[in-house]
Chains A and B, each alone.
Chain A
Amino acid sequence: MEVQKTALYNYHKNLGAKFVPFAGYEMPIQYKDGIVKEHISTRTHAGFFDVSHMGQFFLEGDETLIVSLEKIIPADLKNLKVNHSKYSFLLNNEGGIIDDLIITRTEKGFCIILNAACKENDIKQISQFLNKDHKHLLNNDLSLIALQGPKSVEILEKLIPGVANLKFMTGSNFEYEGEKLYVTRSGYTGEDGFEISISNTKVEKLIDYLISNEVKPIGLGARDTLRLEAGLCLYGHDLNEKINPVEANLKWAIAKKRKEVGGFNGWEKIKNLLANGSEKIRVGIKPDGKVIARENTKIFSSDNNEIGFVTSGTFGPSVNAPVAMGYVKSEFSEIGTSIQLEVRGKKYGGKISELPFYKKSYVK
């Protein structure tokens, strides 16, 4: 498959981006400042992220569309209000996570933001449940820009009046440059901020404005350190088709009503796990020293039995210490449990830690 580029590719290049192949796209991993400075400037001021590689999948239909989507998504879509968003997943028959996503109710149906690496398969999986009256479109004419950090609201409100009134996980249509754009108050960094769905033809102009307000471009490198500090999962690392929401410690994301009534893929299995717990569970991990426990690091109990593995690990610039997430046998998941991490053949001490590592500051 040919490597794809977002509408901002040349813009990134001019900003001094270093590119890496990611999910079939050439994406900036960092810019001139480097990962730590990009991370800190997002937490202290604001940063923008080009996340246009993610799928913006629009669905239209009558109430039968809700019935169809609820078979594969365990959110309460029936009671989701227009312009409100939920974090959820696509589930397979075993209750495994095909992808994690944000679904927003629109006037005519739903918009689902899908991970870039999964989007084609996701659409195939969703389509199995659709009927011929349900219209759907993966809109590649739109860019998606995340603006994240404490100054985001002040900066975007000057350009697009009204965005300051949005609460976390809600959105609305706005006018910009004579075109409609859709803004949600959301993000994946643990900071207040917005995600802006804007046409490819207008996106450069928006970025010009952000840069003139000292908003720094942020690459995938800092996106990873930010989301990990915020305790958020990265699909393909912390989540995959063999992991279910109970194991992933994401049962909060299954709607209460759906937990009781079911009617979605893998419910039998998930119902059982909800009642009895899972064998392994996702936890936060803090190494005691400076050693970084990266993905696939083996986790041992204090008496040297192998009890799990790391799925994401890095240095957290705001925590100023290494941080990680991984899966351990449930009996070792209590906060504060001492563990050992095997890095380059040597065992280093660590502890099961609360998530997030960095306190979120969403505007609710």
Chain B
Amino acid sequence: MSAPTHSGAGVETEAAEPIVELADVAFGYTATPVVEDVSIRIDPGEYVAVVGPNGSGKSTLLKLALGLVRPDEGDARLFGEPAHRFDAGERVGYVAQRAGASDEMPITVREVVKMGRFPHVGFGRLSKRDWEIVDDALATVGMAAFADRRVTRLSGGQRQRAFIARALAGEADLLVLDEPTVGVDAESVEAFYDLLAALNDDGITVVLIEHDLTAVTDHAERVVCLNREVYFDGPTVAFVESDALARAFGTAAALVGERR
């Protein structure tokens, strides 16, 4: 990986325009801040995992980075623009734990992947070229045979692949995933991480929230450990050796660590 290794302790590395840049960000839905004093810079090509206990502000951190909420204090930038004003939506692919639509909604895998082209076509129709990109994305994630299946009838792993394909169809530079492997069987999780690694090798920046610490240490290059504040930010190897986990999770985490 040619991207600069992150040195953790706030030392700025000069590189291309950072993809995500949070500077002294604080945010709370109420008076109590959910995240505080958070400064993170993510450069092109990085593979970053955000870990932390439940309610530690991981999802909020992603929302801040994506401009879905505005920081109470500090500055959140996405591709160099203030995140809330960022409107080149096609550069970002977002995969959530599960989509909000009802389980009964009839919609095919291809129709979901097609949405990746919407930021490119606006009110217009998809051109032949757009459809080719959609079908290529489906082939890339190995879901071509499932193109006409109802998304809501797929297994968890297949569904997540479809959502990745949507991000690919959008030709995103940044892939943001919020606990993508919840409810996905172990075998599919492996395949899923292989896919992420392949995409990252091709230069796509990957940022994910993951509760499974084994998966994080096996795959991510950089770990941000969060519990309201950043407890650790640096290479995965250093994270494993540090006591950040225990500090961030408290005593309960020690048990989690042992079990694994």
A binds B: no
